[in-house]
Structure 1
Amino acid sequence: MDFKDYYKILGLERGASEDDVRKAYRKLARKYHPDVSKEADADARMREINEANDVLRDKEKRAAYDQLADHVARGGSPDGGFQPPPGWDEGFEFHRGPNAGPADHAEFSEFFSSLFGAAERRGAQRRNYRARGEDHHAAIEIALEDAIKGAEREITLRSQEIDEQGRPQWKTRTLSVKIPAGVHPGQFIRLAGQGMPGHGGEPPGDLYLEVRIAPHKLYRIEGRDLYMTLPVTPTEGALGAKVQVPTPTGGIVEVTVPPNARNGLKLRLKERGLPGKPPGHLYLLLEIALPPADSEAARKAYEQLAQAAPFNPRRHLGV
């Protein structure tokens, strides 16, 4: 068996670019394709051209072939009796899919089969492998209002997949996701069949979306409970008052602030948190907001208060 010079078959130099390979192949294919060629050896020449193109347009095959060609040039196959040396393809993996090109490997030469035939057999074994597709995981961030009421959203995901030639590539897809009411941070939404494809006719895996809830300007989430800071005036805190409070569902409720309420007092609005079984609660944390002494009238009011109700908040410190 002789060593085949694929560059010579396509009329190229060793350093030819991918574009050079493509142009050379097209030019020769137009000349020798059996449907149009009048050359007596058109069939044989076309098989050689297809074979050379199959190797030189594939980066992995070409790199392995070039390495082997260097071995032959150093005298690695004397007297024309070429045999690929053991381990010549170590570090390379060859793939072929149904869209790899016009070449038919079954018609390729013994030389080609001796180099890449084992890889073809490994590919066939992989095609006979049966297994359910792998599950994939991703994250989705939603608004608090969506978690409470439920919603339907479109999300765009990027994932790395293996193409039909065995090369990794980034793929973008858009999915419609139904967000159930009452979903909470850390919960997973399962999208059946949206994971990796199965092998050998087995079903694809699933996609699991981890729910994250975007920070809200009013509410903080702890489990199914919601927390909100409720500012009240010193008068409302001291004398008690009824104040209006917005709820996560968009409504407004009236809340009673008890007399002598202190900073940090917690008021509970039952079952006003995230829906569920059981539903969460909404907790209001009182914050005494002091009016600014930015006018003469405000300063006099503070002075009168200090005289009418002397108060030492540091008495427990012993000073």
Structure 2
Amino acid sequence: MMAAPPRDFYEILGVPRGAGQEEVQSAYRKLARAYHPDINKDPGAEDRFKEISEAYSVLSDPGTRRRYDAFGADFRQVPEDVDPETWARARAGRGRRAGSGARAGAGAGPGGPAGFGEGADFEELLEGLFGGRAGRAGRGWGPIPGADQEAEIELTVEEAYRGGRRSITVGGRRIEVNMPAGVTDGQRIRLAGQGGRGSDGAAAGDLYLIVRIAPHRRYRVEGRDIHVHLPVSSWEAALGASVAVDTPGGEAKVKVPAGTSSGRRLRLRGRGMPNPRGTPGDLFAEVRIMVPPTLSEQERRLFEQLAAASEFDPRRGR
């Protein structure tokens, strides 16, 4: 029984071959969320997730993607110095010699490599390209280092603040990552030797993780600074108070000066994102004055007395 050819990576992500990096990234993130084994408990979800991750790891790297577009499913095996046009002509010639059983190579797009016959052998094709210089199993051009790869890792604000160990799946491989505390959105983290595998004993490439901080219902992160809303009562704002504010590092106290209005930002130095190599960010608490949704009889009387006694006009600011 003949083995099925590998699925096309563009087909796996559901994007056209001319898709830009943002479109590839968007498709990957959507599919990864849908099929992540921690979320999707379907028996086939993990295999689908591995397939999606491998497709993204190839198409997200410009260099690796160019080789995939040129050589299709054989892109990992073809030596770096092979010209794509020479490769296409060699495949076409062997495909014709293989007879009517020739079929299109997996991953070859429009205008790409021609058919590679059933009877043709990958190593024989390489020998034909190099006139026997290559030899069997890749001898002749020497070890080929693995390609560098990129992948995204999404963290909550709390995870980015604390750091710690995370498990991710890239190209079907599960990798343990020790995230440093205080990583920021867009930061690249290099994992040496965790990229594409080399051939003939050559070193593997590196894996670069790009940090993405997920939207949070309470915190907004800008660089290393964290912004949060601080609800206070009308009397706390008028009289001043020391109130608690939640931060990713735990509860902190902030002094609300007397006469504070909504929108005022109170700064807590050093309570933003940690910085292992320098000054940590700050936390900015934006005051929001809240009033009771319903008033007791006593509260109503007191507010009425205040309204009668006060000459303050908020529309005029005095």
> Where does residue 67 of structure 1 map in the other structure?
100
**Contact 2:262–2:289 (CA under 8 A) maintained in structure 1:** yes
> Where does residue 144 of structure 1 map in the other structure?
157
2:219 aligned with 1:219: yes
Q: List alignment gaps of at least 5 residues for structure 2.
A: 4-93, 103-112
SS in 1 for 2:138: helix
2:119 aligned with 1:91: no
Out of 134, 138, 142, the residue aligned to residue 127 of structure 1 is 138
Q: Residues 315 and 119 (structure 1 numbering): CA distance in 2 closer, same or farther, change over 3 Å?
A: same
Q: Residues 117 and 183 (structure 1 numbering): CA distance in 2 closer, same or farther, change over 3 Å?
A: closer
- Deviations 1:89-121 (CA, angstroms, capped at 9, x unpaired): x812369xxxxxxxxxxxxxxxx79x9996251
Q: CA deviation at 1:214?
A: 2.5
Higher deviation after alignment, 122-131 or 198-207: 122-131
**Contact 1:292–1:298 (CA under 8 A) maintained in structure 2:** no
> Where does residue 183 of structure 1 map in the other structure?
183
Q: Which has the larger radius of gyration?
A: 1
Q: Residues 290 and 64 (structure 1 numbering): CA distance in 2 closer, same or farther, change over 3 Å?
A: farther
CA distance in 2, matches of 1:63, 1:233: 82
SS in 1 for 2:160: helix
Q: CA deviation at 1:298?
A: 4.2
> Where does residue 286 of structure 1 map in the other structure?
287
SS in 1 for 2:260: coil
Q: Residues 68 and 131 (structure 1 numbering): CA distance in 2 closer, same or farther, change over 3 Å?
A: closer
Q: CA deviation at 1:146?
A: 2.6
**Contact 1:93–1:119 (CA under 8 A) maintained in structure 2:** no
Higher deviation after alignment, 137-146 or 297-306: 297-306
**Contact 1:94–1:116 (CA under 8 A) maintained in structure 2:** no
Out of 145, 153, 166, the residue aligned to residue 153 of structure 1 is 166
**Contact 1:272–1:281 (CA under 8 A) maintained in structure 2:** yes
SS in 2 for 1:315: coil
Q: Residues 139 and 131 (structure 1 numbering): CA distance in 2 closer, same or farther, change over 3 Å?
A: same
CA distance in 2, matches of 1:260, 1:117: 81
CA distance in 1, matches of 2:223, 2:117: 51
CA distance in 2, matches of 1:212, 1:260: 39
CA distance in 2, matches of 1:269, 1:116: 64
- Deviations 1:237-283 (CA, angstroms, capped at 9, x unpaired): 11111112233212x33221101111111111111111111111111
The aligned amino acid for 1:313 is P
2:256 aligned with 1:257: yes
SS in 2 for 1:238: helix
> Where does residue 58 of structure 2 map in the other structure?
none
Q: Residues 155 and 118 (structure 1 numbering): CA distance in 2 closer, same or farther, change over 3 Å?
A: closer
The aligned amino acid for 1:127 is G
Note the 1:170-319 alignment, pairs <5 A.
172-250=172-250, 252-276=251-275, 277-315=278-316
CA distance in 2, matches of 1:207, 1:241: 50
**Contact 1:264–1:285 (CA under 8 A) maintained in structure 2:** yes
The aligned amino acid for 2:148 is D
> Root-mean-square deviation (CA), in Å?
3.3
SS in 2 for 1:307: helix
Identity of aligned residues (%): 43
Q: List alignment gaps of at least 5 residues for structure 1.
A: 1-16, 20-60, 70-89, 96-111, 160-171
**Contact 1:94–1:119 (CA under 8 A) maintained in structure 2:** no
Q: Residues 67 and 260 (structure 1 numbering): CA distance in 2 closer, same or farther, change over 3 Å?
A: same
Q: Residues 120 and 260 (structure 1 numbering): CA distance in 2 closer, same or farther, change over 3 Å?
A: closer
Q: Residues 18 and 274 (structure 1 numbering): CA distance in 2 closer, same or farther, change over 3 Å?
A: closer
- Deviations 1:36-80 (CA, angstroms, capped at 9, x unpaired): xxxxxxxxxxxxxxxxxxxxxxxxx899744279xxxxxxxxxxx
CA distance in 1, matches of 2:197, 2:283: 44
Q: CA deviation at 1:202?
A: 2.6
The aligned amino acid for 1:147 is A
The number of equivalent residue pairs is: 209
Q: Residues 154 and 308 (structure 1 numbering): CA distance in 2 closer, same or farther, change over 3 Å?
A: same
Q: Residues 127 and 309 (structure 1 numbering): CA distance in 2 closer, same or farther, change over 3 Å?
A: same
